[in-house]
Amino acid sequence: MKMLLDGQWVDRDEKIDVIDPFDNSVIDTVPSGNADDCETALKSAVKGFEITKKMTVYDRAQILFKAAAIISERLEEFATIIAREGSKTINEARTEASRCVNTMTASAEESKRILGETIPFDSFPGGEKRRGYYYRFPIGVVLAITPFNDPLNLVAHKIGPAFAAGNAVILKPATVTPLSAIKLVEAMVEAGMPPQAIQVITGYGSKIGDPMVSDERVRMISFTGGVEAGKHIASKAGIKKIGMELGSNSPVIVWKDADLDLAVDSCVSGSFWAAGQNCIGVQRLLVHKDIYNEFKTRFVERTKKYKIGDKMKEDTDMGPMITEGEAIRVEKWVNEAAQKGANVLCGGKRTGSLYEPTVLENLPPDVTIHCEEVFGPTVNLYQIDDLDEAIKEANSLPYGLLAGIFTSNIDVAFKASYDLDCGGVMINDSTDYRLDSMPFGGVKYSGLGREGLKFSLQELTEPKVVCFYLPNI
């Protein structure tokens, strides 16, 4: 596949292989972009913004609606690409492709609801005979940097709202999963998006990241990825808007009155969806002592039934990690925990890039897999005595994206909802739930700002005040 720069699909002699992590076969190649390509993208995006900011809301919405329809018509094609280039099974990939259709459709709908308000200038002395309002206007060129784990829908979460607001976009997709992103952009251009309004540059972040991140023509950076990369971007960005979703170490409390069947099924899925490579995947299960042993038994039994292997088979529950190197990293983290006294209740074995769904308990507080985001198919069990203890433990790490609690007690649910330090609390659900239109983001190291269509549009626009002095009224 090729890059889209200044309205042209272009290739380069230097290419990057896109590898299927299950069998290491080469699916396709993409160009390895360079500094000159960055400059081309920036210049074209500036020209593209001159077009998009003058487009009517109706025209932008119709393009987004049409793009959603194109993706819907080719859903299986998109799902196959997602599954081949990444870690998701074909069934997980179909779910993501369907969500992408919803994200693009909702972006179109929300484009019509970018509203302002009248302002009562006469509410303070000196404001007499003044009338006015504010409206929201697009900010300009948006640099979107996307991750590998949701290679289609997270791209849609950046391109859809950015264009809905009237901005131009430069897209830098994950190096290991660029194909879904390119296919989405093809659909956008086919739907009528001005080619200069969307640039796709593929390549290594070490070569093309800093020149675009630091450029003053970029007015906002929307980044989803790791904490260290986020810190680097923030240090290079200069004065511009930054939106970041940087992952988590998601806690779920299972209270003593929880529906255990519901809690087990939800949390097993929430732990191992997409081989655990999920920013809202369950990583810490804080289970009340009265039900701990029963929950543990059921959870481990359910986990052992997971079928791992070929992503393209309909009955596969979990595929490989994105690279063998990532699987080796998780293996090292699990081994470190085991060597320091943690119990490996099931899993803990690796074959190439496949790592078995793994459940741990009795973790020392200083092991890496307790403290950091694992981004792999492992989950930790902890026994807790009371709610305050559980909430304190849930809040103890420097992350705060989503948290969850299973309980039948409304008082317990409300207390947890207000005391958990995070961007969202899921009641009787695992943390692995996201409605694409809800405000999505976190606190502490989990990020800056919020995505979620309506909320993205607030981030991707600026308010402008208009005030009339009318001396004759």
Please, which residues have CB within 8 angstroms of residue 111's CB and are 6 or more apart in sequence? 57, 60, 61, 64, 164, 165, 457
Query: What's the CA angle centered on 356, arms 354 and 358, to 5 degrees?
Result: 145
CB 233 within 8 A of CB 265: no
Out of 85, 96, 110, 245, which one is annotated catalytic? 245
* Residue tagged 């009955």 (tokens): 315
Closest to 104 (Cα-Cα) out of 142, 151, 63: 63
Q: Interhelix angle for 75-85 vs 90-111, to 10°?
A: 120
- Backbone φ and ψ of 19, nearest 5°: -110, 135
279 as an active site residue: the answer is: yes
One-letter identity of residue 43: K
Structure tokens at 57: 């809301």
128 as an active site residue: the answer is: no
276: region left, alpha or beta (phi > 0 left; psi from -120 to 50 alpha)? left
Out of 38, 267, 279, 422, which one is annotated catalytic? 279
Using CA of residue 199, residue 202, residue 205, residue 207, what is the dihedral sign?
negative
> Would you call 288 exposed, middle or buried from its count of C-beta atoms within 10 A (0-12, 13-18, 19+)?
buried
Structure tokens at 294: 């029963």
Residues with a known catalytic role: 245, 279
